[in-house]
Chains A and B, each alone.
Chain A
């Protein structure tokens, strides 16, 4: 029994560091499984180079070539580009990245963190620290819009004031106007949904403008910062709080070996560990199903938890998302230190149905003050 697995990760281009980390995890797992005598998984590697049109072209070419399973896509826009082709040709995408939720497609398995794994615990943490003034800044596309929309909602529910909200074009590295606002408005916490070079330059600019804030834990929070590109930030990352399904501190020997052997920066990140676990889940599902038919394999992947390098992973057959144990971590001198661990796996809630629905609008209570 064998399976050809498409690995579509951008290992060049603006978010190459994330793609390289995820690819390293997948290759590490394939190598380990091969040694253990598991069914053979043959990687078919494709690099879209961060170009959205390339995702479509490469996905089509892999599916036309008979590949049924693809592990890949980093950004939501790339995933959304691949979905129509997966639907047409009956393929299955194993998606290993945190994303903004509000999706549950029959041709995707969502293994990364959903908003209740990142935005909700991070905003709860901000409120628990007693911070009262937050500023939202994000890249101008679906990840930025949706995570910050939810962050605003959650923070306001906690009584945290949103003193500003700004979106910068994808790839933009000019942030003076945003930094002016942040530095002039007594902002305790910057909620950062920037990606790629925008994120690096923004955090470095912020640290340069106001060096004192870098020492304050949680002065910046991110929903997806990992070790994959933490080194790029240098000391500007100090004090940044991030959420993730696994941080390097908790990585076992398998993940560390995969990072050492396959990751250009030699580091474990949640991208690396989730891609690693994805391959383990795919291999186990193949054994359980006895066929590479995507529907049968998805069903068998959900039938019982799969033991992975991240611990046992359960997948909800209805929502098609993995249960995760998200952690909150603070960046300190190039490393993340975990400050909060969930005591149990949290089922993904991509549509946030467990949040209190529809706030009831009450008339303000007016009273006369003499």
Chain B
């Protein structure tokens, strides 16, 4: 199912991290138009303040890893980078942090677009990460699939029929093949344990 990008940010809180109070206030005025509550922060971001945020808007000219209370690229909320000087080093930092969207300081009027893009990129990134984690978890179960096929072959099936049986079990339970294998092996161990 395709998901429409989020475009209503009303009631959400944005932390605006910028050394300049004036620019912070300009961004706050823009946030007001979108129903977003902006908290302007001119110093480092504390972990407790970060927890209240639904998104972060920061100045990539002055930001550094130490300002953010999470490891590189692991922000728990969408992060929008304000582009000022365009120096390659600062852009490289922003890319290392895997910022979700960029907004030139000269184009603050386009904050809405940056929020839509940022939230969508963040959502896709989260989905990709979840998928990668699931694939890693499943590939770690390959040995169990082989063990389960061998166990089913002990009942007189060939390997193709054994795999088919395992697939059918996965389908009925609506779980992955690897999880079905783990479940089958656990059940057999339990039976064997109970019998001894």
Chain A residues packing against B (C-beta within 8 Å) = 102, 104-106, 318-319, 351-355, 357-358
Indicate whether B171 reaches chain A with its CB closer than 8 angstroms: no
Indicate whether B8 reaches chain A with its CB closer than 8 angstroms: yes
Of all A-B residue pairs in the complex, the 10 with the closest CB atoms, nearest first, are A353-B35, A353-B10, A357-B8, A357-B10, A104-B33, A351-B34, A318-B32, A319-B33, A318-B33, A105-B109
CA distance A354 to B34 in the complex (A): 10
Are the CB atoms of A353 and B34 closer together than 8 Å?
yes
Which residues of chain B (1-30) have a CB below 8 Å from chain A?
6, 8-11, 29
Indicate whether B93 reaches chain A with its CB closer than 8 angstroms: no
Which residues on the A side are within 8 Å of B112 (C-beta)? 102, 351
Chain B min CB distance to A295 (Å)? 14
> 17 interchain pairs (CB within 8 A)?
A102-B112, A104-B109, A106-B109, A319-B33, A351-B8, A351-B10, A351-B33, A351-B34, A351-B35, A353-B9, A353-B34, A353-B35, A354-B35, A355-B8, A357-B8, A357-B10, A358-B8
CA distance A319 to B35 in the complex (A): 11
CA distance A354 to B33 in the complex (A): 11
CA distance A319 to B33 in the complex (A): 6
Chain A min CB distance to B29 (Å)? 6
Which residues on the A side are within 8 Å of B11 (C-beta)? 357
Number of B interface residues in the complex (CB < 8 A): 12
From A318, A351, A354, residue with most partner B Cβ within 10 Å = A351
Chain A min CB distance to B176 (Å)? 20
Closest to A83 in B: B109
A358-B33 CB under 8 A given contacts A105-B109, A106-B109, A351-B112: no
Closest to B36 in A: A353
CA distance A318 to B31 in the complex (A): 10
Which residues on the B side are within 8 Å of A351 (C-beta)? 8, 10, 33-35, 112
Which residues on the A side are within 8 Å of B33 (C-beta)? 104, 318-319, 351
Chain A min CB distance to B28 (Å)? 11
Which residues on the B side are within 8 Å of A102 (C-beta)? 112
Chain B min CB distance to A321 (Å)? 10
Closest to B110 in A: A105
Are the CB atoms of A354 and B109 closer together than 8 Å?
no
Which residues on the A side are within 8 Å of B8 (C-beta)? 351-353, 355, 357-358
CA distance A106 to B111 in the complex (A): 13
Chain A min CB distance to B82 (Å)? 17
Chain B min CB distance to A313 (Å)? 19
CA distance A319 to B10 in the complex (A): 14
Which residues on the B side are within 8 Å of A357 (C-beta)? 8-11
Closest to A105 in B: B109
Which residues on the B side are within 8 Å of A352 (C-beta)? 8
Interface string of B25-49 (1 = CB under 8 A from A): 0000100111100000000000000
CA distance A318 to B109 in the complex (A): 12
Which residues on the B side are within 8 Å of A355 (C-beta)? 8, 10
Chain B min CB distance to A143 (Å)? 17
Closest to B32 in A: A318
CA distance A51 to B10 in the complex (A): 37
CA distance A318 to B38 in the complex (A): 15
CA distance A102 to B8 in the complex (A): 11
CA distance A353 to B10 in the complex (A): 5
CA distance A352 to B8 in the complex (A): 7
Closest to A319 in B: B33
Which residues of chain B (114-172) have a CB below 8 Å from chain A?
none
Chain B min CB distance to A348 (Å)? 11
Which residues on the B side are within 8 Å of A106 (C-beta)? 109
Chain A min CB distance to B164 (Å)? 28
Closest to A104 in B: B33
Which residues on the A side are within 8 Å of B9 (C-beta)? 353, 357
CA distance A102 to B34 in the complex (A): 10
With contacts A104-B33, A351-B8, A358-B6 known, what are 16 further pairs, Cβ within 8 A?
Answer: A104-B109, A106-B109, A318-B29, A318-B32, A318-B33, A319-B33, A351-B10, A351-B33, A351-B35, A351-B112, A353-B34, A354-B35, A355-B8, A355-B10, A357-B8, A357-B11
